Amino acid sequence: MSTEGVDPRFAGLDAGSALDIVTMMHAADADVNAAVGRALPAIAGAIEVVAERLRAGGRLVYVGAGTSGRLATLDATECGPTFSTSPGLVRAILAGGPDALTRSVEGAEDDTAAAAADLAAAGIGAADAVVGIAASGCTPYVLAAVAAARAAGATTIGLSCNAPAPLLDAVDVPIAVVTGPEVLAGSTRLKAGTAQKLVLNMLSTGTMVRLGKVHGNRMVDVAVTNTKLRARAVGIVSDLAGVPAPDAGRLLDAADLDVRTAVLMSLDDLDAPEARRRLLHAGGRLRDAMRLPQWPGTLNSDPSTVLNPAPVVVVCSDDPSSPSPSPSPSPSPSPSLSPSPSPSGPDRAASRPQRR
């Protein structure tokens, strides 16, 4: 395995100054971007597969041990506040359970029986996409988890920093990001870990872009859960709707803190329920909702279902009692649109700020 090799460029690591050490590490990290670049077509293919699974009501489930599993947990956790993903839509299964987040759990990565049990407890099925992550490409826990996922009918993706590797042969969509020997030989939390984080960034972000949770390069489905994120949301509404920040704040409040709804309210002079219905009809995609004719009418769906402000759920492997929600597919709006009169009321008044 190349990740276990020894790079002679760094044989003097222990004899160098602090500046020498970081200079060597920086030089080694140059390998990472090139390795990820060579894998871009495979990563893009994985994004399309995952987006298709999520559109069909499935989940994105990461599986890993050690550094790989911790990085997966981080990525899954961040999807909630960044993209307002519903509970359980993106989740991570970490070998060794919660304790493995903060300390090494001996033998966890070799426990194949635990992997099969963890996948069964998570309720993995044909609608899901399961991503096995292993720098070596041969971690027994990850291989067993991928095998269990395939047996359950799930689509499988494998991320390895070695090629060839058993993991790449065991999945539907293999991603090989070959980073080579580490500056500290064998320490795959370094280059390999950095490469894994870059790929996970692309996989989750690319999927959410394909699902319509981004407009331009703005996070229009951000969960407004603190002062910083409120300021960000107000700024997005202000920029996209072309209104001053105070008006953007009032729109955001009238829209129950949903950026997309607030933008539509301002641009097309809609009240909040009408804007939500338009978003629902457009599958949650703001760009498509902005193209719909004025006053799309009443749709036979609950407009609240277009909003998913809850945080993501992270399930660790030694907690089989954790619930495994099975998200329902996005509701299908009625294909017929009936013109309706312009609404009126307090929400409507709030949606008429002075444009700048």
| Cβ 180 vs Cβ 7: under 8 Å | yes
Residue type, 135: A
Is residue 78 annotated as a catalytic residue, yes or no? yes
Active-site residue among 4, 48, 52, 78?
A: 78
| Cβ 107 vs Cβ 139: under 8 Å | no
Residue 178: both structure tokens together: 């070959």
Residue type, 203: L
SS3 82: helix
| Cβ 128 vs Cβ 155: under 8 Å | yes
Query: Exposed, middle or buried, 75 (CB in 10 Å: 0-12/13-18/19+)?
Result: buried
SS3 196: helix
| Cβ 154 vs Cβ 169: under 8 Å | no
Residue 262: both structure tokens together: 């607030």
List alpha helices for 152-226, DSSP H.
166-169, 191-210
Residue 310: both structure tokens together: 């809850």
Residue 161: both structure tokens together: 């920093």
DSSP for 21-43, written as a single string: HHHHHHHHHHHHHHHHHHTHHHH
Residue type, 88: G
Active-site residue among 48, 52, 109, 274?
A: 109
User: What are the residue numbers of the active site?
Assistant: 78, 109
